[in-house]
């Protein structure tokens, strides 16, 4: 059985969604961020970066959300949440997963925590404004990508879509959120209707009413 160390509305959400979408047996272990449990000696033995999530499977201890997502998908290849080796969509899957993690998530984190990216407090608002513009560009690109297809790779959902769903939830805090983009709004609505997604969001206390229209 897999164990996912998680915290609600955190980077563990995408792996949690994928576990619920597959037939893999798993259990959840809550890491209390409110008490900084991810910085405890016990946790740091598993993940020296002190971040959430961690996936434990037998002797394997895996951290970094994209790596965990790939591992889960390949454990249950029948789910087709990652294109099989040799499939023409497989390189595109890794492209989008990398883009979401290295570009959208990275740029969002600068916007969300600007004080950690400067030693000059007076520059914080400038960082947020600049990052807000950059994030509009990123969301615009993703919205255009979804213009002629329901999901990033076409008609079939994949793990990159779950990763985008997680990040888009976070980005609803932006001045120009994903729901202000026609195709991203439709994408979020469609994914939020999936049984596994609703189940996970109920566990994590995530309100999906914004996408019920």
Name the least confident of 107-116, 118-127, 163-172.
118-127
pLDDT at 58: 95
CATH number of this structure's domain 2-79? 3.40.30.10
Instruction: Taking residues 194-212, report their average pLDDT.
Output: 96
Tell me which of 1.20.1050.10, 1.10.4030.10, 3.40.50.620, 2.40.30.160 is the CATH number of domain 90-202: 1.20.1050.10
Instruction: Taking residues 112-133, report their average pLDDT.
Output: 92
- 41-60 confidence digits (pLDDT tens): 999 999 999 999 999 999 99
| Mean pLDDT computed over every residue of the chain | 96
CB 18 within 8 A of CB 160: no
pLDDT of residue 89 exceeding 90? yes
Cβ within 8 Å of residue 75, ≥6 positions away: 2, 22, 24, 57
Instruction: Taking residues 2-26, report their average pLDDT.
Output: 97
Instruction: Taking residues 155-184, report their average pLDDT.
Output: 97
Query: CATH 3.40.30.10 spans which residues of the chain?
Result: 2-79
Strand pairing report for 60-63 and 54-57 = antiparallel
Q: Give the global pTM.
A: 0.96
Cβ within 8 Å of residue 158, ≥6 positions away: 80, 81, 82, 83, 89, 93, 151, 152
CB 108 within 8 A of CB 170: yes
- 192-202 confidence digits (pLDDT tens): 999 999 999 99
Query: CATH 1.20.1050.10 spans which residues of the chain?
Result: 90-202
């Amino acid at each position: 059985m897999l164990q996912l160390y998680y915290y609600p509305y955190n980077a563990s959400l995408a792996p949690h969604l994928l576990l619920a979408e597959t037939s893999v047996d798993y259990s959840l272990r809550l890491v209390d961020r409110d008490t900084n449990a991810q910085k405890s000696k016990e946790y740091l033995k598993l993940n020296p970066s002190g971040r959430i999530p961690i996936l434990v499977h037998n002797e394997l201890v895996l951290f970094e959300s994209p790596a965990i997502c790939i591992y889960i998908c390949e454990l249950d290849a029948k789910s087709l949440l990652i294109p099989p080796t040799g499939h023409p969509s497989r390189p595109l899957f890794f492209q989008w997963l990398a883009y979401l993690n290295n570009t959208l998530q990275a740029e969002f984190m600068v916007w969300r925590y600007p004080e950690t990216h400067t030693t000059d407090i007076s520059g914080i608002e400038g960082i947020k404004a600049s990052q807000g513009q950059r994030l509009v560009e990123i969301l615009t690109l993703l919205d255009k990508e979804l213009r002629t297809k329901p999901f990033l790779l076409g008609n079939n959902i994949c793990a990159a879509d779950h990763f985008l769903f997680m990040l888009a939830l976070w980005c609803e805090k932006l001045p120009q959120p994903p729901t202000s983009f026609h195709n991203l709004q439709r994408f979020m609505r469609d994914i939020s209707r999936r049984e596994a997604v609703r189940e996970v969001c109920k566990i994590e206390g995530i309100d999906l009413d914004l996408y019920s229209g």
